[in-house]
Structure 1
Amino acid sequence: MSWKHLFSKALSADPDRLHFAAHSHHLWPDASFEGHMKACEDAMHLADHKWDKIMGPVWAEAQRHVASELKLPDAQTVAFAPNTHDFLVRIVSAIPTRPVRVLTTDGEFHSFRRQMERWAEDGTVVVDAVAADSLIDKAQSGSYDLIFASHVLFNSGKVISALDRLAALSRPEGPWTVIDGYHGFMALDTDLSDVADRLFYMAGGYKYAMAGEGVCFLHAPPGFAPRPTVTGWYAAFEDLALSPGKVGYAPDGRRFLGSTFDPSGLYRFNAVQAMLAEAGLTTDKISDHIAELQRHFLNDSPLSGMRLLNPIDGNPHARFLAFQSANAARLHQALAERKVVTDVRGDVLRIGFGLYHDIEDVDRLSEILRGSQCTRLSA
């Protein structure tokens, strides 16, 4: 079945483009445009009073969508920010010890890795980066303040499935376990109901939530990190019991808020969620559609000369296929010259599949890959 009609604006904007980077910048569905326009209308009509609506029903609706997707017992544990990096900085700021002892994988996203390297330079952190397969054993044997791992590793597509074992190590006094769910949220059916009281989880709308940038979120377990040092006035709450000069914090996820932000992402997120509900599209249903496309692509074997880092083996799978080759960057460029959008990280070419693809798109991609130049680079 084709769901292209939900993306008519993005697809008609460049009809010749084959966009196989849904894992990077997911094409926006038409509903996101409608949500964005609603944000503009509210800003124009309500002016200063728009914040009553944004921090009221718009915020609460977005919280409910996140909580429903992740099976969180309490939507109030969810806070929103322009990006997940904001949340990382605030979480680390709440850890009282210095240097902060961090355990992570060697496959984390650039932003996290860069920040850790810079903090390591000035003595804020000491980082122990290990292979994902050894993360649990290392966490159990070591002494850490922060355990940080991606649910789905952005480079290889490997899925870390033992979230319950990581959560079992987490305590209010430390260590804290943080899961970067950006490549898992709305790509894998994720149930945090049994670990929500011990696990931080953050993700955003740029990828599989199809809502664009500026709408990231954090689930913060109650009792963990009650007073981040890096904070903004949106994290404040009125408490007459506080002594003069005492900095107050909201008792729920809002304690991780900063200051004034662009709220349009919340509108887009809510509009896309409404679209999915109306179409009867759950994460599982979308995953089934994408799994069919991935199998069809692999059965055609257009990249048989490259190493597939995340084979389809019946377990939960990333929304992209990661192919390793010394020619990955050159193949990426050759595809770009044919108006095929993919993504390359070092020697790994990533091909991401989205709801806006159908079998005909996959066949077009395979045909292009079988062209003389692409065949030579993928051999």
Structure 2
Amino acid sequence: MTMLDLTTHFAKFRAAAPERINLAAHSHHDWPDVTFTAQEQCWHDAAQLAGEKWDLVFGELIPLVQAGIARHLQLPDPSTIAVAPNTHEFLCRLLSCFPSNRPIRILTSDAEFHTARRQLERLEEDGLVAVTRVSAEPYETFAERFHTACGIDEYDLIFLSQVFFTSSATSGNLKALVEAVPSQEPFIVIDGYHGFMARPTDLSEIAGRIFYLAGGYKYAMAGEGCCFLHCPPGYGPRPRDTGWFADFGSLAVPPGKSVGYPRDAGRFLGATFDPSGLYRLAAVFDWLTREGITVEQIHCHAQASMTLFIEGLALEHIDGLRVADLITPWGAKAQHGNFLTFRTPRAGEIEAKLAKVHVHCDHRGDRLRFGFGICTNAADVDQALARIRRVVGS
């Protein structure tokens, strides 16, 4: 495993906070310098084109973004990708595809991100959904247990994270999940927010069967406002939750007796949004291509960084930061996201101490998380370990 040193490409973020070491890269990555130029370009295009900028956004920018996403996920058809400001918007649109005369039957895990967790719990309160949750722990047996659950009952929607935000454990092989669902009817939705641009992901064989939901805020290093949904053909042809951009190509045509939808992913579009995130995301894709950086290299960099971090911590014997405190086992065979999660009652205390010395991490309850992206190098990890030793190890 080889660590990269691309820190010169993140000069603006690093100069803005020179003391910061970003080990919260599972949450907010530094943005590469190319995104600054892209942000400026968005402003200049708006100034030059005004309302006509949407022709550029839909005619040039979105196709560039679609092509980049399709390339990294090995999707056969970029037109299956819709964009939106956030993943919650897509979740609501997906839920609006099902019959309204009975509860939506949903299979999921008990470790989904708050976007899905909160919304589904609220709908449960009103009896609008019936949710079956499979315990994510123990992670070693999760895939087998979840696949078994897929065949026990009939579901309308199967919603599952590719990588659990609570632990960095993966949920298993996605093709095997598809094969475990006996019917072709249920929507299979993969939340790829901690998988996209973090782990090599090949959807080529299952692109016609699953929805894939992710965005640029985390590992794609493009910030807020640039999320996407891969939409398999034929599933959800007429979402009730629909915006005028879903009919963007036909706005000059007089309204008909029924609401029309395009056949491609445009059927899942919403309404007016800030396109600046798409400018940044397109710039990141272009930069990675020019530099010859692949997702495989990004994941290997994270693995090498995590190995360096774990080996350094092992020398300190710090309560709460031992290998034994890791929720997801670490080793050659471990299927892991690009962050580490320690279970410790000291999670909040350790995060607060590290924040005072500008080492950024985060915690959720008794879970302390450290993320590793290509915005950091080996020297950053070494410096972070030195600060941890000084303020936590004493």
- Superposed pair shares fold, TM > 0.5: yes
| Counterpart contact for 1:219–1:253, Cα < 8 Å | yes
Q: Deviation at 1:250?
A: 1.0
Q: Deviation at 1:167?
A: 2.1
| Counterpart contact for 2:150–2:181, Cα < 8 Å | no
1:39-58 equivalences under 5 Å are 39-58=42-61
CA deviation profile, 1:105-157 (whole Å, cap 9, x unmatched):
01100121110110001111111111231211111112211110000000111
Residues 8 and 96 of structure 1, relative CA distance in 2, 3 Å threshold: same
More displaced stretch, 138-147 vs 85-94: 138-147
* 1:257 maps onto 2:275 in alignment: no
* 1:2 maps onto 2:5 in alignment: yes
Residues 214 and 94 of structure 1, relative CA distance in 2, 3 Å threshold: same
| Counterpart contact for 2:29–2:375, Cα < 8 Å | no
Residues 41 and 243 of structure 1, relative CA distance in 2, 3 Å threshold: closer
> 1:311 — aligned with what?
329
| Counterpart contact for 2:147–2:180, Cα < 8 Å | no
More displaced stretch, 343-352 vs 359-368: 359-368
SS of residue in 1 equivalent to 2:393: helix
- Which amino acid in the other structure matches residue 148 of structure 2? D
Instruction: Provide structure 1 residue ranges, at least 5 long, that are not aligned to the other structure.
Output: none
> 2:341 — aligned with what?
322
Q: Deviation at 1:329?
A: 1.0
Q: Deviation at 1:375?
A: 2.2
SS of residue in 2 equivalent to 1:370: helix
| Counterpart contact for 1:67–1:75, Cα < 8 Å | yes
Match of 1:203 among 214, 219, 223: 214
Match of 1:60 among 51, 60, 63: 63
- Which amino acid in the other structure matches residue 293 of structure 2? L
> 1:287 — aligned with what?
299
CA deviation profile, 1:188-232 (whole Å, cap 9, x unmatched):
100000000000001000001000000000000000000000000
Match of 1:123 among 124, 127, 131: 127
> 1:375 — aligned with what?
393
> 1:358 — aligned with what?
377
Instruction: Provide structure 2 residue ranges, at least 5 long, that are not aligned to the other structure.
Output: 137-141
Instruction: Give aligned pairs, total.
Output: 375
More displaced stretch, 356-365 vs 186-195: 356-365
| Counterpart contact for 1:205–1:212, Cα < 8 Å | yes
- Which amino acid in the other structure matches residue 351 of structure 1? F
CA distance in 2, matches of 1:265, 1:323: 32
Q: Deviation at 1:364?
A: 1.4
Q: Identity over the aligned pairs, expressed in percent?
A: 45
| Counterpart contact for 2:147–2:181, Cα < 8 Å | no
Q: Deviation at 1:81?
A: 0.1
CA distance in 1, matches of 2:379, 2:81: 39
CA deviation profile, 1:48-107 (whole Å, cap 9, x unmatched):
111111001111010000100101111000000000110000001001152001111011
SS of residue in 2 equivalent to 1:375: coil
> What is the root-mean-square deviation of aligned Cα atoms in Å?
2.0
- Which amino acid in the other structure matches residue 206 of structure 2? V
SS of residue in 2 equivalent to 1:351: strand
> 2:17 — aligned with what?
14
SS of residue in 2 equivalent to 1:148: strand
TM-score of the aligned structures, taking structure 1 as reference length:
0.95
* 1:297 maps onto 2:309 in alignment: yes
SS of residue in 1 equivalent to 2:392: helix
Q: Deviation at 1:311?
A: 2.8
* 1:184 maps onto 2:198 in alignment: no
SS of residue in 2 equivalent to 1:197: coil
